[in-house]
Amino acid sequence: MSILMIDVGNTTVDFRIWDQAKNELSNLMRPKTKDDEYKSSSRIKNLLKENNVTVSEIIYVSVVPEWNDVIRALGQSIDVPIYNLRNVVDISNYQFALDDVNKLGADFLSNFIGALNTYNLENGLVLSLGTASTIFVVQDKKFIGTSISPGLETSLDGLINMASLLKNNTYNKSNKLVGKNTVDSINIGSFNGHFYMVTGLVDFFKKHFKVDKVIFTGGISNLFIKEIKELGYIFDEKLIFEGLIEVFKNIKKG
């Protein structure tokens, strides 16, 4: 049985297929969230057909409400059950120390469940690098708080949009120690600097909390796999889907 799992983020919409019998997760597509070509249930239905994919159920996590309507319409058009993680998770099964857990982002929630189930996380940090760079702290398996910073690309886009002479260049991660021109300097400051910023926050949290494990996830983390592993941290690009899988299993348990 194939389950369509969808992670709707502010930058991309990640579609994956989970083969429940084999417990295998495979990539399907990852369009930009604002790409109107894909913001259509009929378009997605046709893509499933073109890829010879038949799904029996859909479960998704979303931080973009307009995409919720697209996914609901997709489920209706192919006549399968649909589960929104936000609506099906029993919050009472988990521990939180927040002002209002009902306002916690669904992406945080899915990553939290994924970290608890996959890594038995008792005390540690989970970093998700995407549109925003977020960190949440877990102590004794309790979600106790977060840090949210503008993401690498978000920060870089803000700089470029404020300075007209920077717009017609390509920016990438750099191995150089110091820039000798504007592009190299921005590469070092934006890419390398962002990674040192988030790892600096990790060091800060380590001074105040018990941290046995540090887990990186999110699309931007792919740029820093080597550095993450050199620091002895965990890289898991599918953590949010591991949370979705656990939630789906709990639904089926009744």
Q: CB 76: neighbour CB atoms within 10 A?
A: 11
118 is an annotated ligand-binding site residue: no
pLDDT at 165: 82
pLDDT at 45: 95
> Is 79 one of the catalytic residues?
no
What per-residue string of b and e applies to 97-117 under the rule 16 or more CB within 10 Å gives b? eeeeeeebbbbbbbbbbbbbb
pLDDT at 164: 84
7 is an annotated ligand-binding site residue: yes
Are the C-beta atoms of 1 and 24 separated by less than 8 Å?
no
Dist. CA 138–CA 115, nearest whole Å: 10
pLDDT at 194: 96
Query: For the domain with range 93-101+122-238, which CATH number is right: 3.40.50.300, 3.30.390.50, 3.40.30.10, 3.30.420.40?
Result: 3.30.420.40
Same fold: 2-87 with 93-101+122-238: yes
| CATH number given to 2-87 | 3.30.420.40
Dist. CA 248–CA 199, nearest whole Å: 33
10 is an annotated ligand-binding site residue: yes
* Catalytic choice (35, 107, 157, 203): 107
pLDDT at 169: 86
pLDDT per residue of the chain (254 residues) written in tens, 0 to 9? 799 999 999 999 999 999 999 999 999 999 999 999 999 999 999 999 999 999 999 999 999 999 999 999 999 999 999 999 999 999 999 999 999 999 999 999 999 999 999 999 999 999 999 999 999 999 999 999 999 999 999 999 999 988 888 888 889 998 999 999 999 999 999 999 999 999 999 999 999 999 999 999 999 999 999 999 999 999 999 999 999 999 999 998 86
8 is an annotated ligand-binding site residue: yes
pLDDT at 96: 97
pLDDT at 167: 86
pLDDT at 252: 87
CA 42, 44, 50, 56 dihedral sign is negative
DSSP string, the chain: -EEEEEEE-SSBEEEEEEETTTTEEEEEE--BTT-TTTS-HHHHHHHHHHTT---SEEEEEES-HHHHHHHHHHHHHHT--EEEHHHH--GGGSEE-SS-GGGS-HHHHHHHHHHHHHH--SSEEEEEESSEEEEEEEETTEEEEEEEEE-HHHHHHHHHHH-GGGTTS-------SS-SSHHHHHHIIIIIHHHHHHHHHHHHHHHHS--SEEEEESGGGGGGHHHHHHTT-EE-TTHHHHHHHHHHHHHHH-
Q: How is the chain split into domains, by residue range?
A: 2-87, 93-101+122-238
